[in-house]
Amino acid sequence: METFESLVRSEFAPKNTFLNTASSGLLPARTLTALTRSAQIRAEGRSLDPLFADVEASRAAFARLAGVPVARVAAGASVASQSALVAASLPAGAEVLTAEDDFTSVVNPFHARGDLKTRIVPLERLADSVRPTTALVAVSAAQSADGRIADLPALREAAETTGARTYVDFSQAAGWLPMDANAYDYTVATTFKWLLAPHGAAFLVVPEDFGDLTPLLAGWVAGEDPWNSCYGPITELAHSARRFDVSPALFTYAGARASLELIEELGVHTIHAHNLTLADRFRKGVAELGHEPVPAPGSAIVSVPGLGHRQPELSRAGIELSDRAGNLRASFHLYNTSDDVERLLEALSS
């Protein structure tokens, strides 16, 4: 029986010290194989049915990770387009509450409407700022810039008290932070970061009754019988959240299926413990060097103010991280080891 370490070693062989999963994750070996297989199907003129099957297998795998029935999961291309779908469901004048400096794809579609009342508050005050006039709260579960984790239980309680709906982006959390999409009205996650899939796939979890969503992006794939929904208006939308699908990037979903299956094999709880051990070791080590990370307890993302300018030199030395607003952002995932942490600390001490 393979161990966590042996399975990871069989799937990943980075040529550098990669600590940048918050930007994009590494592709597993099985995902590269799946991408090649999907391209060969196209090149050889074979039926695309296996690729459409990959879309459904990916949807089912994400549903299991999110803890919801597969019928509640819509397959799309990006968080921004999914956010726009939720934003379009609100009536003019509705109040939307967001967190300061949250990721643009989460919040901008609500601001772009132009006829919504938007309020922006510090992340730590989000739950306390929900009021009876709030129609929807949109927030990332883990902040992209610095890894801070939203107090989602407090947000859920505040929303239940006031009747506000919740829209939570798990893009920086799904794959390492256990999630329960049942706890919120809408959740979304892109898959090219911690879920280790190719770019171009994002899943939206909707309420069982679809909430107030309108399938504005619906094309033929959103029909209950897609192949009989290719011409003219769709006469019968899918009875599931598939009514909110957009035509899938088939190669991407072929890869996503393989990547999501690996996450399931390893187990999110195991990945969570692994990632936090490394992140906490780095927090302690960088503090010993005289630098104070942004407080983000329980996060696999560590952001260190004042060190962002060192990102280019670290990259030249074979250590990949991000510079975010002057902060050096390190993100620790399943393929990282304690040796990666020590190498980064040694580089920062020089």
Tokens at 45, concatenated: 């003129």
Supply the pLDDT for residue 244. Answer: 98
Distance of alpha carbon 312 from alpha carbon 321, whole angstroms: 9
Q: What is the pTM of this model?
A: 0.96
CB–CB of 345/289 below 8 Å? Answer: yes
Beta bridge pairs of residue 331:
20, 301
Which pLDDT score, from 0 to 100, does residue 325 have?
84
pLDDT at residue 234, as a whole number: 96
The pLDDT assigned to 350 comes to 87
CB contact at 8 A, 265 and 288: no
Residues lower than pLDDT 70 in the chain: none
- The H or E element spanning position 345 is helix 338-349
Long-range contacts formed by 310-317: CB under 8 A, 24+ apart: 310/348, 314/344, 314/347, 317/347
> What is the structure's pLDDT at 185?
97
Within 8 A by CB and 6+ apart from 138, the residues are 83, 86, 96, 97, 98, 102, 106, 107, 110, 167, 168, 169
Distance CA 28, CA 143 (A): 25
- Set out the domains of the chain in order of their start, with CATH numbers: 4-27+267-349 (3.90.1150.10), 37-265 (3.40.640.10)
Identify the pLDDT of residue 286: 98
Q: What pLDDT was estimated at residue 2?
A: 83
Distances (CA, A) of 307 to 147, 311, 341: 16, 8, 16
